[in-house]
A and B are shown apart, each in its own frame.
Chain A
Amino acid sequence: MNSKGPPRRARSGHANLTAHGEPWVWLTASSLALAIAMIVGLLSFIAWRGLATFWPVPLELVMLTDGRRLLGEVTEQEPVEPATAAAVGHPARRLIRTGDFDSSGNHYEWIDDPTITEIARPEWATVVERLDAGRLHGIPRRLLHGEQVVAEGAAEVWKAFGREHPGARGRLLRGLRIDKHERGELQRQLRAARLAVVQAGLDAGAGSERQAEAEQREQKLAGEIGRREQALDEETAKLRGENAGWAVEFETASGGSVPVPLDGIVRAWQPNRLSLAGNLGVYFSRWGEFLGDDPREANSAGGVFPAIWGTVTMTLIMALFVAPFGVLAALYLREYASRGPITTAVRVAINNLAGVPSIVYGAFGLGFFCYVVGAGIDDVFFKASLVADGQPTFGTGGLLWASLTLALLTLPVVIVATEEALSAVPNSMREGSYACGAGKWQTIRRIVLPRALPGIMTGLILAMARGAGEVAPLMLVGVKKLALELPVDGTFPFVHPEREFMHLAYLIYDVGFQSPNSQAARPMVFTITFLLVAIIALLNVAAIWLRSRLRRRFVSQHF
């Protein structure tokens, strides 16, 4: 405007750069990119390894210079650099899952590449998943029924196997179900009657009339149960009898012949002949077993259904405890408590609780819930069990105590998130409600809580995600390596809060680091991890969906 004014100071390019903020955009964007790369990298690694576990891999017949023959899946290959090879002392090599534990005593074997003379893929090579003793790789030779040879030759045997196996497997499973459920139910009734006798003795004194009555009842029940068990015995004996004698004989790579009982075969497939549809069939059948069945062979095979069930029930029960407690505590802290040093101290203490190592909560849960509260409950209500066979009911780890321990652990998360959500409710809404003549509680219930609900849900989501992935405290308060009796099932009273349970996160630790056959268990670790992440994601998605529905209802688009 005015050319005669003082000369304008030339502005440096540096100032311009800072003012435009380019470097900050790059800095912030790259931090986010790094975070996303790590998350996506980790998740896709887990997903890839986890999802690939059950895909059938071709069986290779490897012939070695020393005349040995191996039939197996190549699970790993190590192309060692010549320089390092010299230093390590071996050339390129590969890890083969031999599936010939019976004769070699190994599940896996490292083979140096130069010792290999020939590699073939025999058409009829079969992977046999056995109920126990792990996998077997071999070529079917004969199907036997007692002394009688039903089929001979790989193709014939395979056809006959497809015909006979489902029936045999079905009979086996029915037998197992009878053992587990029906016989288990009888045992439970018998134990209840026996405990009633002890209880009567405790209540009315040994040798009293009541105890005598209870004893009579027990004897009557024992007689009846004996008869029913006999019936069950007959049924299972019949099932076993039908399965007896049926066996498939496989020829292993080393030339030996291994007979496998027909009902001892979980599943068999011939990876070298499978079409895409066949591959998919095997793949989904293995996923089905994984998701729906009980574990076998020290958790390294079979399914993880009890662990899925345990994880989900525990997380939901935990949420059931932590949500009301956390919300009520935060309500008092934010809405009722007068601001002052004590409130501040309480708030700081809650925030600090979030930093306490989780194993400390585990120790607290064991010491307080199990040994004090649980023992107290046992003493009053379940003394008979304690006296009769020294078996605590609530005085040991269990679903209830694990859920409570994790509820304590996640309480700070819920309280802090709820407080944030409450303080985000505009004061004008509270005042509007008071001006209508509403009391404090009416205002909280009708205005503040609905408006804060999405924020509270966020806290609960965080708490559930944290609780579902926790391992350390659970090891002390009720998670077991193997617990096939589900904490929530079809037997009265349907929820068994005192039962020990399995948990996916603990299963990862157990299968990955405590398994005798760790090499075979490693793919399972990835699959279980994938499953756990997927379950947590599923729980979160459900909660987020709920939250967005609430948000649409309660949060304004205007102002």
Chain B
Amino acid sequence: MQSLERPSQGIGSEAVGRPTEPPPDRLIAVAAGLEVEAEVHDGVLKEPPVLEIDRFNLWYGAKQALHRIAMPIPLNKVTALVGPSGCGKSTLLRSVNRLNDLVQSVRITGDMRLNGDSIYDPRMDVIELRKRMGMVFQKPNPFPMSIYENVVYALRIDGETSRGVLDEVCEMSLRGAALWDEVKDRLQDSALGLSGGQQQRLCIARAIAAEPEVLLLDEPCSALDPIATGKVEDLIQELRGRYSVLIVTHNMQQASRSSDYTAFMYLGRLIEYGATPDIFTKPVLRETEAYVTGRFG
């Protein structure tokens, strides 16, 4: 008989409760509420950072979701955040552009710096801050307007009305998002008529239209079929070197294929962070190895 119990990507604590193999000590320590030191490779620290996360803590009400996260995000590289569900990857990503401000019960300590500017400085205008970043969400969320207007949305809200500028940005962004050839003849059609994969690439075009300093991708392929996923991954490859990308993903292959650096998070802590080949082939911690090889999580 075959066991029905396969390691599934369930809730983190559940994975600890029923491991197929004895869990590494560090993860037990984390689950017990102890603080553990993150293992950050030297290679990461040598890169010039675009974003520095500095001892960042975050609480939802009384529950702490992020514990003293400290990590630099390298400039013009793709950095992947991996870890089991509920480990705080998305929360961390949403903290970068302060989308968590919209949740009433959120409280934070610590800080992040975008090219040296404190993100959580009370004098920082959150709207100006978000204009310096682009974000793509799990589910494609095109706006209820034309493809054209979707792409130039960020410019529109800044009051840009010059047709020439808008047209140019629209084409550049759609080309950048590898969507131009598919939609160039129907720019005035509703964006809602596109397929899921096209919608997600449209969202990427929208995110890069305003030349962001950081591009935040929150599991951009989780709602897409394999073919659409492949296209978006190719796109991420093309963005490599031109944009600083911070991507949250569940998919180990995706992280290993498309990122330069990988950070492994667990229950709100950063566990190990280093160059992607190192993390996937010779991680320092055996906990990381256990996760990236699919033995738990």
B258 interface residue per 8 A CB criterion: no
B104 interface residue per 8 A CB criterion: yes
Residues of B within 8 A of A432 (CB): 135, 137, 141, 143, 203, 206
A439 and chain B: residue at smallest CB distance: B127
Contact of B137 among A428, A442, A559 (CB under 8 A): A428
A432 to B133, CA, bound (A): 12
Chain B 129-154, CB-CB to A under 8 Å as 1, else 0, gives 01101110101110111000000011
User: Closest CB of chain A to B161's CB: distance in Å?
Assistant: 14
B21 interface residue per 8 A CB criterion: no
A450 and chain B: residue at smallest CB distance: B144
Contact of A434 among B99, B134, B199, B216 (CB under 8 A): B99
Contact of B192 among A431, A434, A435, A557 (CB under 8 A): A557
Query: How many positions in chain B have a CB within 8 Å of any CB in the partner chain?
Result: 35
Chain A 424-435, CB-CB to B under 8 Å as 1, else 0, gives 001011011111
Query: How many positions in chain A have a CB within 8 Å of any CB in the partner chain?
Result: 26
Contact check, B143 vs A556: say whether CB atoms are below 8 A apart: no
A533 to B44, CA, bound (A): 74
User: Closest CB of chain A to B173's CB: distance in Å?
Assistant: 12
Contact check, A435 vs B157: say whether CB atoms are below 8 A apart: no
Contact check, B141 vs A434: say whether CB atoms are below 8 A apart: no
A430 and chain B: residue at smallest CB distance: B102
Contacts A428-B137, A432-B203, A437-B154 known; A559 to B196 CB distance under 8 Å? yes
Contact check, A338 vs B104: say whether CB atoms are below 8 A apart: yes
Chain B 84-124, CB-CB to A under 8 Å as 1, else 0, gives 00000000000001010010100000000000000000000
Residues of B within 8 A of A433 (CB): 143, 153
A170 to B135, CA, bound (A): 75
Contact check, B130 vs A437: say whether CB atoms are below 8 A apart: yes
B293 interface residue per 8 A CB criterion: no
A451 and chain B: residue at smallest CB distance: B144
Contact check, B192 vs A555: say whether CB atoms are below 8 A apart: yes
Contact of B97 among A435, A446, A557 (CB under 8 A): A435
Residues of B within 8 A of A447 (CB): 143-144
A431 to B130, CA, bound (A): 11
Give residues of chain A (162-204) contacting chain B, Cβ–Cβ below 8 Å. none
A4 interface residue per 8 A CB criterion: no
A320 interface residue per 8 A CB criterion: no
A345 interface residue per 8 A CB criterion: no
Contact of B157 among A437, A450, A559 (CB under 8 A): A437
Where the two chains meet, the residues of A that have a C-beta atom closer than 8 Å to any C-beta of B are: 338-339, 426, 428-429, 431-439, 442, 446-447, 450-451, 553-559
The 3 lowest CB-CB distance pairs between A and B, nearest first, are A437-B131, A556-B192, A435-B135
6 contacts between A and B (CB under 8 A): A428-B141, A436-B134, A438-B157, A450-B144, A554-B190, A557-B193
